Amino acid sequence: MKIIGYKYFWYDGVNWIEQPKNDVDIELRLKGLSWQNKKKRTLLMNIKVPIVNKNVDLCLFDGDFTSFNKSTDSQHRDLSKYLALGELKGGIDPAGADEHWKTANSALIRIRAAFEKLKLSPKTFFVASAIEKSMAEEIYNQLINKNLSFASNLTNETQLVNLCNWIVNL
């Protein structure tokens, strides 16, 4: 956010905090971000999505941070506010990459099915530290078929930058 010149607020799991002058190591405590480009956006990490009844790694919402909290009226309970939901797999072992994809893909299918029941269609995405050829073909096919909206390999700097731009500009 700082690199692209966006003012932001970040969530440490308890409080929303205005962008610090020095944000070194902020990612070690970061549970959410909120910013505004054309519209106000909030990204929360590892939250229980009510309709799915499971935790989802990354959830992007339409709205600013003041609407998201631990209360019963938090905006994360308004399913129409969900813009994108993503699964993140951080293991770098190529041998386990396929299993990570299978787990993430099952979660993404469950997410899409739950929202489709209410005629809602937030975007879904997959982010991993290891993507092997066999799973890459399946991911690519889902991107072409528009079942998956975005995918990124965290170890590829260009893909990481593209992921950040995609999320920030939704």
User: What's the CATH code of the domain at 21?
Assistant: 3.40.91.10
- Indicate the pTM of the whole model: 0.92
> Residue 2 falls within a domain, yes or no?
no
> Which of the four pLDDT bands, split at 50, 70 and 90, describes residue 48?
very high
Question: 108 by DSSP, 3-state: which?
Answer: helix
How many structural domains is the chain composed of?
Answer: 1
Q: Which long-range contacts (CB under 8 A, 24 or more apart) does 154-162 make?
A: 154/90, 154/127, 154/128, 154/129, 155/92, 155/129, 155/130
> Residue 3 falls within a domain, yes or no?
no
> Residue 62 falls within a domain, yes or no?
yes
Q: What is the pLDDT of residue 86?
A: 97
> Which amino acid appears at position 125 of this protein?
F
Domain boundaries, position 136 = 8-169
Q: What is the pLDDT of residue 5?
A: 86
85 CB burial (10 A radius; 0-12, 13-18, 19+): buried
Whether the per-residue pLDDT at 157 is higher than 90: the answer is yes
Whether the per-residue pLDDT at 168 is higher than 70: the answer is yes
